[in-house]
Structure 1
């Protein structure tokens, strides 16, 4: 992949009225949805970029959902119309879209509103690769195996803690807003438990302290299946426990999630303690050891390093470049 994979980025004029949504990222990304900006920043400085479209494996549509969301001329409601206009422009200005029906094109979006971006551009939704954080089998906009799931990661400076002195005194931990029935059910069921610590809303103590003293850290579906909690858990050496039905987990076609996490159906919330007590000491040790091995794949860097989140996304795209479907004109085929 490192030697041969090439991506062509659609150019834009400097005086384009929406150049701000297309330009390379020149700031340090931050917040819950930083993955989109980190990827774009890293890609534009990488050796994967080619200025020769004839040697490109994939074509990148570099509009930023995050930038469009905050642009007063577009806003959340105007994103589908913008994507429709963008698609119309590139498909009529350049020949590359029609060469493959858009199957070798992709865009990246981490915010959940990205799932509505192609509402007015069916060709993009059905053909192009959508690299998104909101990767739910339940969403009609997301097509598993064609699209790719990117992790939602809260940026952190420096290396992860060594964890040599951390004592895992709590069996499981969760804290967050009550914005889904799964979260409300978990808190209602376990709020008075002595081993499973759950809290509705923000903690009065540091969030990192709770992650460091817990064996399992719960990832519970909120408004969408994705949150930054999986990355949070792994950064602090806590085994992710995922209760988010229909979630196409990030890098699922690369990593074996069963080796470093537990995935529990929402119907088994009342059995949570029984399930966790059923994990033997040896099994837990293996899970934790693997968490420490794979957490480098869930970290962004200002300058990418081998096997980090950027290279994992690139590998996901590289895998998909071989499944691009070139439409055949039925009139030209032999029956």
Structure 2
């Protein structure tokens, strides 16, 4: 395995992921084989009145810490635990993402989370909180341009950090989310620059730079 390029959703540098050799895959759902782009997009920045949103199961040690600090603590921070099952609840979850400036993407049992791609899907700036995580396609994408990446220890300062980002900078990041969105989308048949081709490109890129000239 040490001679192989591994393509992993769990791109954790403490669990054997090698930067410069291995490939970090986006963790995402295919919502509908016939229409994988269903519900794509979200509200424009001027109509996103929620500062930050998170809802999900309390996998791992870190998410309970997030809820301890922020659940029911601030009206600008819509931080919840698991949402009740059902179609109405799922639509409520989607509408929250479509209406939020920032979508919190905390680690669960592993360093990656499907919320990272969900946030991009709904044009919400992802806030990745996961130590030792290597973001997908980092070889070619500047994640600092369209996301906020925080250390786990910054949880108590989460609102202060997000609220201190100037509106102009937020709008720039949100625009860039919309621009990079094409790289995280599945299609029934692969489309140039989509997730399928980006994954192949990452493997090719790492393979090329491992080839030693004679």
Deviation by residue 1:278-325 (Cα, 9 ceiling, x = unmatched): 100100000100000001101111210011001111111121222335
Identify the range of structure 1 (158-167 vs 231-240) with the bigger mean alpha-carbon deviation. 158-167
Aligned to 1:318: 204
> How does 1:210-225 map onto structure 2 within 5 Å?
210-225=96-111
CA contact (8 A) 2:41 2:98 kept: no
Aligned to 1:133: 9
Runs of 4 or more consecutive aligned structure 1 residues displaced over 4 Å after TM superposition: none
CA contact (8 A) 1:135 1:226 kept: yes
**Larger Cα-atom Rg:** 1
Q: Give the secondary-structure state (helix, strand or coil) at the position aligned to 2:14.
A: coil
CA contact (8 A) 2:42 2:98 kept: no
Q: List runs of 5+ in structure 1 lacking aligned partners.
A: 1-123, 329-335
CA contact (8 A) 1:155 1:299 kept: no
CA contact (8 A) 2:131 2:152 kept: yes
Q: 1:277 to 1:230 in 2, by over 3 A?
A: same
Question: Which of 128, 133, 146 matches 2:21?
Answer: 146
Counterparts of 2:202 and 2:56 in 1: how far apart (Å)?
30
The TM-score with structure 2 as length reference comes to 0.89
Q: List runs of 5+ in structure 2 lacking aligned partners.
A: none
CA contact (8 A) 2:105 2:113 kept: yes
The TM-score with structure 1 as length reference comes to 0.57
* RCO comparison, higher one (Cα < 8 Å, 6+): 2
Counterparts of 1:237 and 1:231 in 2: how far apart (Å)?
10
Counterparts of 2:37 and 2:144 in 1: how far apart (Å)?
28
Deviation by residue 1:199-255 (Cα, 9 ceiling, x = unmatched): 111256321011011110011000001111011111111000010110010001110
Aligned to 1:45: none
Aligned to 2:113: 227
| Aligned-pair CA distance for 1:164 | 4.8
Aligned to 1:188: 68
RMSD: 1.9
